[in-house]
Amino acid sequence: MVQTKTARVPGRAHVLVIGNEKGGSGKSTTALHIAVALMGEGSRVASLDLDARQGTLSRYIENRAAYAGRKGIELAMPIHAAVPLSTLPDRTAAEADEKARFEAVLEPALASCDFVIVDTPGSDTHLSRTAHVWADTLLTPLNDSFIDLDLLARVDADTLKIVRPSIYAEAVWKQRQLRAIQGGRPVDWVVMRNRLSSLAARNKRDMGTVIEALAKRIGFRVAAGLSERVIYKELFLNGLTLLDLKRGGGGPSLTLSHVAARQEVRDLVAALNLPPAPPPEPEAAPGTAPATPALRPAG
- Model pLDDT for residues 74-102, shown as the tens digit of each residue: 999 999 999 999 999 999 999 999 999 99
Counting every residue, how long is the chain?
Answer: 299
Domains and CATH numbers, the chain: 14-272 (3.40.50.300)
Q: How many Cβ atoms are within 10 Å of 60's Cβ, its own excluded? A: 25
3-state secondary structure of 143: strand
According to the model, what pLDDT value does residue 297 have? 46
State percent of the chain over pLDDT 70.
85
Residue 249 pLDDT class (50, 70, 90 cuts): low
Q: How many Cβ atoms are within 10 Å of 138's Cβ, its own excluded? A: 25
pTM above 0.85, yes or no: yes
Ramachandran angles phi, psi of 47, nearest 5°? -125, 135
According to the model, what pLDDT value does residue 199 have? 57
Answer with the residue of higher pLDDT: 17 or 204.
17
According to the model, what pLDDT value does residue 207 have? 86
Q: Using CA atoms, how far apart are residues 231 and 217, in angstroms rounded to an integer?
A: 35
Least-confidence region, from 45-54, 103-112, 245-254? 245-254
Across 114-134, average pLDDT = 93
Ramachandran angles phi, psi of 142, nearest 5°? -135, 115
H runs (alpha helix) in 10-79? 27-40, 56-71
Mean pLDDT of the chain: 85
Across 190-217, average pLDDT = 82
Asked if residue 283 has pLDDT above 70, the reply is no
Half-sphere exposure of 59 (CA within 13 A, CB side): 11
Pairing of strands 115-119, 162-165: unpaired
Across 49-53, average pLDDT = 88
Contact in structure between 140 and 20 (CB atoms under 8 Å):
yes
Answer with the residue of higher pLDDT: 291 or 136.
136
Could you tell me which of 29, 15, 20 has the C-alpha nearest to residue 137?
15
- Maximum distance among all Cα pairs of the chain, rounded to whole angstroms: 71
Asked if residue 198 has pLDDT above 80, the reply is no
